[in-house]
Structure 1
Amino acid sequence: MNVVIYHTNDFHSNFNNLKQVHAYIRANKTEHDLYLDSGDYTDLSSIVVQADGGKSAMKLMIDSQIDAMSLGNNEIDLGKEAIVELAKSGVPFLSANIRDLDHKKIDGIYSSIFLTKADKRFLVVGLSPYYSKDFEHASYDTFFMMGGVTTKEPITLVKQELEKQKGQYDYAILLSHSGLFVDKVMLEQLPEIDLCLGGHTHDIATFKGYSQSGQGEKLGKITLEITETGIVEIENIQLDLVEQQNARFDTLYKEIETTTDQILSQPLPHIRALAFDAFNESELINFICDALMKEKPSDLAIMHTGIAERALTNPVSRKSLIENFPSKLNPTHYQISGKAIREAILLSFDEGHIRNSGKGPGFRGSVLGSLGFSQNVKVVKNTDRITIDGHPLEDDKIYSIMTDDYLQRGSGYPSLRVEDSEAAFEPGFIRDLVEKYLMDEEVFVSSKVQRIFEESV
């Protein structure tokens, strides 16, 4: 007898991809088969996820006959309380290495589970991201801890779990949201793992004992032959999913979308609309910069215009804010030289550069854009004159800035990069900051103050 293990990872709330997986699984999965996912199914850029912390989105996975999932960083970004609620959905969530801030296991999250198929016991162990690509320890904890979650070193914990369950399983599967390169290194130290199903780096990779399926645009299919002497992997492929009609999924998604739309579409009070231009100074980006300065007074605030998709217009709701500010980027405070600031500002005048895609960690926008500044900054483009509080920008001086972790990483504007250890990250995303200041008259008034001039005034 054969057992087929279907596998996905990193949907990031792309429900169109899930729709095709849903159709294939429901048409082909038998009682002897498994469907496993390696995390980052949810994404905070989705209004469905934002509405109720991903609980409604899990209904779609349940109807896709999922057997178990590991927790990716995007699930963890929802925060501890939301994770606990997700665990009540009926989907087994696995992570051997996440803990709360008291270093205790989180309710409803299991290190491993047993799944029995064809009279064989499959041990499935889950892992959440811990190592960076450079194998820096606890590399995600700075952001995880804002939501009440921390991580522990995974290799030791997997070994402990395998030892704890020794003799009780026939085949060991690791659902690892760690990335392909990290998985390869970890598996050298975990020879007891028979199959690793990876995620996090969005690779499409298939080789003996390993599968990772991009971002849900493909479906991993691992076929195992069950013999008297053991379990043998006889096929490991990636299925190309053909787009097809799926009335069952469409109906379920429409019901969920209607409910979540009602939750998020309630109007929010605000003072007035704010104009926006991705490539020139605008009220909306000025507003964000001035709100950042009010949130944490600094020498100046800087923001990339690609943080927004459009103007702030009526009606303003949590839904419209999510759609307008899809990126999951935190307000960030650090110190940097005047020279680095000058380099970034001059680069923001490069018409070719500011029209780049802006792709980078946490970024969900459509274009990089130029830079905007707090009202105490004045920039004269034709002279490259830059002043802060009326004083010329000094290359050798160190300035404190408020921005987001996109610019702090050097995304789009490399000179603004500093190490995470040199930055302070604030809870919430930029869209949450916008919502907080929607009724702040002072910030709305200051957003009209011009900061960038074509020539001396």
Structure 2
Amino acid sequence: MESIHIYHTNDIHSHLERWPRIHDFLLERKKMHQKKGEDVFLFDIGDFIDRWHPFSEGTKGLGNIDLLNECGFSAVTIGNNEGINLSFEDLNQLYDNAQFDVLVANLYQKGKIHPLWLKPFEIYRTGSGTRMAVIGLTAPFSHLYELLGWQLTDPFLELKEWINLLKENTDIIILLSHLGIKEDERIAEEFPEIDVILGGHTHHVLQEGKLVNNTILCAAGNYGNYVGHVTLQVDQHKKLESKKAILYDVNKLPVTKDEQERTEAFILNGKKRLTQKVISLREPLVSDPLKETKLAVLLCKALREWCKADCALINAGLLLGPLTGDVTAYDLLSICPHPINPCKIKLTGQELKDILLISKNVEWPNRQIKGLGFRGTVMGIMIYDQIIFKDDLILVNGSELDLERNYTLALPDMFTFGFFFPDLLQSQHKEYFLPEFLRDILKWKLQKQF
């Protein structure tokens, strides 16, 4: 029997506080398997980069690629944090120095041409000659990719296009899937040829994998809390006889040498790259998620002006701290780390009224939020620009809201995904502004006003 060992990570999201431990663990395991003459592969399933961390922001993700190189990763696929939270130019050169393969079958440049830095799949040969096909797929946020200049195709159609070729020319098929657990289950049902799906995106934890038909689904949660390990046993006829999955709890691994110093070095490295001064403030701008502050009002106004909308709303919880004195790029990242983009949506007066009434939900200010790009803790109160609630009336731009006319509302894109305002999910009148984040809009406004 031939033993093939696969280690996988997913959705690290630049939580580099655990990376020294992961790094040392992976190098130690590689050394152990190679000493036994066993093949070992390392794969990352996307969202390794998240620009909330100063190291990732300061290096535009290039520092993260160095970390993967240092571990000797075999291949990665990209997640939405790499794909739509970097500009076209930054993503297009992100992997210039990568010493591993980037596998994404459903990402193209305009004209349906794969960029030079990626392949739809790669075939790896083990020391015993076993052929292992690895194909990658990323979550189909097609519209957002198109706004940045990319073209994204349906992942299931891509699989249909490639699966027969892979089946005819290889012994094992592995999918790197940044699609989420539900999509992975569907793929296992529709494509029984796939032996292993290494998943991510929905941050699910599969302690010993999950068998769907004859396909084993594997996933290692998020933030570097786990490292996955899949062991494949192949007989002398190149037939896959067994597959087993396990997760290692990174928090229970031995503390590595100089662990704290290494994680602090990531922060210091990024901070040093973000020291450029944005503005000097004569008076501090305080923040409070439960109060209407000058800083929150300023961001809301900046959002409306940037989007050229009639009115705007934000949640005060987007601002995580004050600004004072000489404000640097690092300061803006610290108080507004979210990879959240501006959005403008066209609404009728009645639709706008419904949205505004929902936004007054008294339970929202203290509600804790995870996901949707939000990197804070609580929602905070709603802040409005060019919107006034006066007794039973709603005023927009100083005039009573007209239920029959159309308005444009600027808001953070996290409110358009259906979790807070369900009706906005299906709206066909949304305009997203990429690649700017809210902190970029705040920087623009600060420099303009002060």
**TM-score, normalised by the number of residues in structure 2:** 0.87
Residues 143, 314 of structure 1: alpha-carbon distance in 2 compared, 3 angstrom cutoff: farther
1:388-426 residue CA offsets vs partner (Å, 9 max, x unmatched):
2332334555422111212233444x3773525221111
How far 1:345 moved relative to its partner? Answer: 4.7
4+ runs of 1 displaced by more than 6 Å?
Answer: none
1:298-353 residue CA offsets vs partner (Å, 9 max, x unmatched):
32111111221112223322222112111111111112344554555555555543
Match of 2:124 in 1: 115
Q: What CA RMSD, in Å, does the superposition of the two structures yield over aligned residues?
A: 2.5
The residue matched to 2:93 in structure 1 has which SS?
A: helix
Task: Output the CA distance in 2 between the equivalents of 1:379 and 1:277.
Answer: 21
The residue matched to 1:353 in structure 2 has which SS?
A: coil
* Aligned residue runs from structure 1 range 17-166, under 5 A: 17-29=18-30, 30-31=33-34, 32-77=39-84, 78-88=86-96, 89-119=98-128, 120-130=130-140, 140-165=141-166
Task: Output the CA distance in 1 between the equivalents of 2:210 and 2:287.
Answer: 48
Is the Cα–Cα contact under 8 Å of residues 62 and 95 in structure 2 kept in the other structure? no
Amino acid at match of 1:217: N
The residue matched to 1:262 in structure 2 has which SS?
A: helix
Task: Output the CA distance in 2 between the equivalents of 1:197 and 1:425.
Answer: 31
Task: Output the CA distance in 2 between the equivalents of 1:341 and 1:279.
Answer: 23
Amino acid at match of 1:240: D
The residue matched to 2:186 in structure 1 has which SS?
A: helix
Residues 147, 244 of structure 1: alpha-carbon distance in 2 compared, 3 angstrom cutoff: farther
Is the Cα–Cα contact under 8 Å of residues 313 and 383 in structure 2 kept in the other structure? yes
Match of 1:240 in 2: 249
Is the Cα–Cα contact under 8 Å of residues 365 and 379 in structure 2 kept in the other structure? yes
Task: Output the CA distance in 2 between the equivalents of 1:350 and 1:102.
Answer: 46
Task: Output the CA distance in 1 between the equivalents of 2:162 and 2:89.
Answer: 25
Please point out which of 422, 428, 439 is paired with 1:421: 428
Please point out which of 396, 401, 412 is paired with 1:404: 412
Amino acid at match of 1:19: P
Match of 1:200 in 2: 201
Is the Cα–Cα contact under 8 Å of residues 220 and 238 in structure 1 kept in the other structure? yes
Match of 2:307 in 1: 296
Amino acid at match of 1:440: K
Task: Output the CA distance in 1 between the equivalents of 2:303 and 2:273.
Answer: 28
How far 1:357 moved relative to its partner? Answer: 0.9
Of 399-408 and 240-249, the range deviating more from structure 2: 240-249
Please point out which of 385, 390, 400 is paired with 1:392: 400
Task: Output the CA distance in 2 between the equivalents of 1:355 and 1:384.
Answer: 25
- Is 2:379 the partner of 1:372? no
The residue matched to 1:438 in structure 2 has which SS?
A: helix
Match of 1:451 in 2: none
Of 417-426 and 392-401, the range deviating more from structure 2: 392-401
Match of 1:308 in 2: 319
Equivalent residue pairs, number: 429
> Which structure 1 segments of 5+ residues have no match?
131-139, 445-457
Task: Output the CA distance in 1 between the equivalents of 2:225 and 2:9.
Answer: 9
Match of 1:219 in 2: 227
How far 1:219 moved relative to its partner? Answer: 1.9
Task: Output the CA distance in 1 between the equivalents of 2:158 and 2:401.
Answer: 51
Match of 1:326 in 2: 337
The residue matched to 1:335 in structure 2 has which SS?
A: strand
Is the Cα–Cα contact under 8 Å of residues 52 and 260 in structure 1 kept in the other structure? yes
Task: Output the CA distance in 2 between the equivalents of 1:336 and 1:270.
Answer: 38
Task: Output the CA distance in 1 between the equivalents of 2:322 and 2:423.
Answer: 26
1:149-180 residue CA offsets vs partner (Å, 9 max, x unmatched):
22112233234334445554221111111111
Task: Output the CA distance in 1 between the equivalents of 2:370 and 2:296.
Answer: 19
- Is 2:240 the partner of 1:231? yes
Task: Output the CA distance in 1 between the equivalents of 2:382 and 2:352.
Answer: 11
Amino acid at match of 1:56: G
Task: Output the CA distance in 2 between the equivalents of 1:184 and 1:415.
Answer: 26
How far 1:23 moved relative to its partner? Answer: 2.9
Of 330-339 and 194-203, the range deviating more from structure 2: 330-339
Is the Cα–Cα contact under 8 Å of residues 347 and 353 in structure 1 kept in the other structure? no
Residues 244, 395 of structure 1: alpha-carbon distance in 2 compared, 3 angstrom cutoff: farther
Give the fraction of aligned pairs with identical amino acids, expressed as a percent: 24
> Which structure 2 segments of 5+ residues have no match?
none
Amino acid at match of 1:150: Q
Task: Output the CA distance in 2 between the equivalents of 1:258 and 1:212.
Answer: 31
Residues 314, 419 of structure 1: alpha-carbon distance in 2 compared, 3 angstrom cutoff: farther
